[in-house]
A and B are shown apart, each in its own frame.
Chain A
């Protein structure tokens, strides 16, 4: 009996230590600007020569080469760069989704020019250039309200950007109703 309680105490202590160890890496709850919520680090580059090109608003060749080597496809390569502050840049590209931007005189005015999105985040650290990838949620948070004219972020993500998911959820609820009918409804004798 004593052995069991000692074992349980050890188990709880180990779990607590594990939790503390893991909780170190959890970002502050609800902070959209903490690094894991905003962007993830990809790799570092040699900054010599690249920084001047970046400051002129062009994409350095070294960055394109590094991205291609790591398996990024043609439409995932940045096409323009915008400076944020000293030593920080956003790299923009036109994502694949714009192919449905057809002219719609009949069906409403769609955004006629392909829309640029910020995709990579570059930061100078000494003589190294760190390359980050923005999280997809950044686009929803920053662009969603004037893309959909809906102020409620939960609704526009749930019903518009993640429409298939919500259709599936509704189907799950519908299936639950069908199974209740199959299991519980009386046969022959219709109530009311």
Chain B
């Protein structure tokens, strides 16, 4: 797909302006929801979906080629598994640093601070970040792949018709 290929739904100056204005704020809000999952309403799942919705909005407004440049598929592949690895890695770290004395996912023994309870809070934050990364990457992946499929079918349909 070339860059100057037109997005099938056309372009609109209103959409592009509003999108440029809103997307940074949506992403900032998503990061706030993920980080603030421990202190208020929010968490990894919700924040990840909000972050993914900003990419979905970008794709709808600017088209597949531009969105693919901003959020490349290769990075997406890695991000999808990075979140799960981060979660399981935090859990495994608890076992490793205490040489197998505590259970998997027992955050209190992470070597972060010297307070048992603070360690649990920080471990929860790390885990929420992992969840957020995975959810964001997967939702974006699903939407991008559906759009690719759609474009593919419209292209081949046109070629067949002509």
A interface, CB within 8 angstroms of B: 100, 102, 104, 106-111, 146-152, 154-156, 158-160, 163-164, 166-167, 169-171, 173-174, 176-178, 180-181, 184-186, 190-192
Contacts and interface: CB of A to CB of B under 8 A. Distances in A.
A148 B121 contact: yes
B152 A186 contact: yes
B131 A108 contact: no
A74 to B, nearest CB: 22
Nearest to B152: A186
Interface string B101-138: 11111111111111111111101100110110011011
B1 interface: yes
B106 A100 contact: yes
A108 B116 contact: yes
B97 A107 contact: yes
Nearest to B127: A159
Given A156-B120, A173-B134, A191-B73, 9 more contacts: A107-B98, A108-B115, A159-B128, A167-B87, A170-B134, A173-B135, A176-B138, A177-B141, A190-B73
A159 B117 CA distance: 14
Nearest to B77: A181
Most chain-B Cβ atoms within 10 A of its Cβ — which of A102, A154, A158?
A: A158
B139 to A, nearest CB: 8
30 contacts: A100-B101, A104-B109, A106-B111, A107-B97, A107-B111, A108-B114, A108-B115, A110-B108, A110-B109, A147-B117, A148-B120, A150-B38, A150-B121, A151-B38, A155-B43, A158-B43, A160-B123, A163-B105, A170-B87, A170-B131, A170-B134, A170-B135, A180-B142, A181-B145, A185-B145, A185-B148, A186-B148, A190-B73, A192-B68, A192-B72
Contact of B138 (A106, A166, A174): A174
A149 B121 contact: yes
Contacts of A146: 117
Most chain-A Cβ atoms within 10 A of its Cβ — which of B1, B72, B116?
A: B116
Interface residues of B, number: 63
Interface of B: 1, 37-41, 43-45, 64-65, 68-69, 72-73, 77, 80-81, 83-84, 87-88, 91, 97-98, 101-121, 123-124, 127-128, 130-131, 134-135, 137-138, 141-142, 145-146, 148-149, 152
For the residues of B in contact with A, the DSSP-based class is helix
A141 to B, nearest CB: 17
Given A100-B101, A184-B145, A191 B68 contact: yes
Contacts of B69: 192
A145 to B, nearest CB: 10
Contacts of B91: 163, 167
A100 B134 contact: no
A174 B80 contact: yes
